[in-house]
């Protein structure tokens, strides 16, 4: 049976630090695209494994964080593409919140479902572009860099995303 090669202690500490510093941010970024906690957890793990397998990219912390964001977004987009059109209901394991009334919680939940239904109508790239631009508030140049495409392509994704979403809202109002 082959032996597992253990990285040096310094490398291990560098990897652990990289994971700790970026994990929550990446998890939230992925969750906002895939809208499911379990999937976001799996994809966050996948993104970090992909990133940490390229040690040479981690030398500059700022560049590494940006590069990790790009891997995370592409991982989420690839997942959305592979995902079947059939959806499965999962029991939510989140603890109950007692900070708002049941009516407020129901309204908030309905509003969230309403918006998430609109998101499902977009292609994975349109969805990612819209989330990064209008939810995360990144400028278009940053969105283009994260998605690895030109500014013109990103603007096209953003325009299509907003248009489809707006049409969905108008249909629901009727």
How many residues bind another protein (CB under 8 A)? The answer is: 49
Of 18-26, 60-68, 83-91, which part binds another protein (CB under 8 A)?
18-26
Using the rule CB under 8 A, is 67 a contact of another protein? no
Which one of 22, 34, 39, 48 is in contact with another protein (CB under 8 A)?
48
Which one of 56, 97, 102, 174 is in contact with another protein (CB under 8 A)?
97
Using the rule CB under 8 A, is 4 a contact of another protein? yes
Residue 60 per-residue DSSP state: S
Using alpha carbons, select from 129, 124, 119, 137 the residue that is nearest to residue 158. Answer: 129
> What b/e readout covers 50-83, taking b as 16+ CB neighbours within 10 angstroms?
ebbeeeeebeeeeebbebbbebbbbbbbebbeee
Which one of 140, 145, 149, 153 is in contact with another protein (CB under 8 A)?
140
Of 48-56, 59-67, 83-91, which part binds another protein (CB under 8 A)?
48-56
**Helix axes of 151-173 and 102-119: crossing angle, nearest 10 degrees:** 130
Q: Select 32 or 70, whichever has its Cβ closest to another protein.
A: 32
Which one of 134, 145, 149, 153 is in contact with another protein (CB under 8 A)?
134
Using the rule CB under 8 A, is 28 a contact of another protein? yes
Q: Would you tell me which residues interact with another protein (CB under 8 A)? A: 1-2, 4-5, 15-16, 19, 23-24, 27-28, 31-32, 37, 41, 44-46, 48-49, 52-53, 92-95, 97, 111-112, 115-116, 119, 130-131, 133-137, 140, 155, 158-159, 162-163, 165-166, 169-170
């Amino acid at each position: 049976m082959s032996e597992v090669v253990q990285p040096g202690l310094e490398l291990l500490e560098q990897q652990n630090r990289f994971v700790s510093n970026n994990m929550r941010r990446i998890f939230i970024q992925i969750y906002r695209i895939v809208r499911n906690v379990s999937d976001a957890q799996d994809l966050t793990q996948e993104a970090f494994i992909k990133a940490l397998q390229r040690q040479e990219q981690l030398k500059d912390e700022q560049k590494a964080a940006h590069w990790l964001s790009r891997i995370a977004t592409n991982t989420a987009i690839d997942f959305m593409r592979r995902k079947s059109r059939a959806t499965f209901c999962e029991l939510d394991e989140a603890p109950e919140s007692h900070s708002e009334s049941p009516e407020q919680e129901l309204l908030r939940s309905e509003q969230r479902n309403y918006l998430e239904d609109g998101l499902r109508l977009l292609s994975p790239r349109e969805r990612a572009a819209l989330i990064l631009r209008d939810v995360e508030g990144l400028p278009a140049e940053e969105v283009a860099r994260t998605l690895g495409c030109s500014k013109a392509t990103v603007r096209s994704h953003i325009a299509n995303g907003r248009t489809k979403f707006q049409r969905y809202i108008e249909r629901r109002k009727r």
